[in-house]
Structure 1
Amino acid sequence: MGVINRFKKDRLAMVCMGFLFIVMIAGVFAPLIAPHSPIEMNIKEKFSGISMTYPLGTDQLGRCILSRLLYGIRTTVFTSLLAMAVTIFIGTLLGVIAGISRGKVDEMMMRICDIFLSFPSEVMILAIVGVMGPGLSNIILASIIAKWAWYTRMIRTIIIKYRDKNYIQFAKVSGCSTGHIVRTHILPGAAGEIAVLATLDSGSVILIISALSFLGLGVQAPTPEWGMMLNEAKNVMIVHPYQMLAPGIAILLVVAAFNFVGDSLQDAFDTKRGNKMG
């Protein structure tokens, strides 16, 4: 049974994929879907309940919660995916170089990775953002700096596994260049496992960006972002606890969806498990 077929048989994963697709579409078309401007204030309507005008009510400044939630997809989810994409690109590039090179180049790159991995990624991100200051671009840069070493080491391990396979050795004997072997044989084989790593870690990046914004070190007001929405809602948590529900549930569902999809992909690429299922 093929990888795609095994993945399709997981109904929960397919539901999560559909949910994430809807979230992405909602983020892209937020200006068309959102009933109001995400930063438009109307103090007279603050803490309004659910209504036709405000489907999820309003916050302490009278801003539409649904509109801020939809626009928040762009700053929370899309920013996380951008940071993940850049990190994966760097990790793949360096991981391939380390896995193919061997010798002193591999040894030097792994020692550099060891230095970065000796610091907890969350602490490193907090330190970098604390030094550089809050802001969306600084969050992305901090996430990349904190995580590239882990991806480099993991992808290097994947490349080494494929590097010594018989068809790779045959390609070398046939006179194929290293670049051709990497592009044609190694990367296509390793792409699935790299995708699993990226999918499983996407949820943690979303949590990091939301947490930084919640602490006031990430996205700054009035930009709509789910962590920032939680930060603003905590000030009225006692009298208006429902203010935390929308962004909190959004973060929970999206992170859980990424984790379920990642777990399903991991199972789909597990040949032994696939044989048992077949």
Structure 2
Amino acid sequence: MIRRISKSRKRNFSPSRTQVDIQFESGENAYSDPIDSCRSLVQDVVFERRDCESLSPQATELFNSVTIFQDEAEASWLLNNIHSTTILVKVDKVEFSINGNYYLKENQPCVLFLHGFGPARNWTNWIKLAYQLSQQCQYSIILIDLPGFGLSSGRSLDQTSWKRHGPEILIAVLSSFHLRHSVSVVAQCGGAATTVRTINRYPLWFRGRGLIFSNSVIGDFGESKIGDFEKNLTKYNIHIVVYWIPDQDHSKYCVAYKRWNKLRVTGFRHLQLIDLDPAKQTMKQFYPA
């Protein structure tokens, strides 16, 4: 049975900017090594995943949009295979409610999608890649709203607070699906920055995987000393491709671009920087929704 609702074009994905009161019924510790989860528990990071009984109204309305999903097969697959969830995360004494949607199949590699920073950024930005990756490339997929965006909590918090805990939030999200293998990441801007800091703290989650970044503006790499990030990429065989479309918010003069470009010049094997022409390529290639 295909889930259908009225094909209204009016969509509002921006909730109230308030911090919710989170009540944990039970909790598990996140882990830093998916291959050895029992012996790599992170004691101050607790999660609880609560799957919805049905697809969320937000996702249902989106998938029924004939403007975005003109292919009936794609819309039908999304409506019948994507699951909605809420992941409660506590880092030290700071609590977050993370909105997510996912499709998981046993023994498939998994991709975590992370949006960028901006007023219209949320998990839906990447949804047009879900069907192709799952059906054509046989990947499981996880899409979330980062804290302070979409339907996740955290808008009332100082951004520096959740950014500081960003790596712990990501491993809690991944741990909540009880994954026993490392993951790939597709991320834009702030989502990519959060991933970089997570690689520096918990590299085993990305061991042997390929990651794709778009306009990954990063000020603080979260390193003990400059060069630790590149050492982690090499040690854990992590490969990253960075696509860059310059605009007023993503200048080639920023710290991250200069670092990526330096790695390109020196021939560093684990990161590839690709410049795109803004006159020919647009963000619609990355955010078709």
Structure 2 length as normaliser, TM-score?
Answer: 0.20
Which gives a bigger RCO, structure 1 or 2 (Cα 8 Å, sep 6+)?
A: 1
Bigger share in strand: 2
**Higher Cα Rg, which structure:** 1
Bigger share in helix: 1
Structure 1 length as normaliser, TM-score?
Answer: 0.21
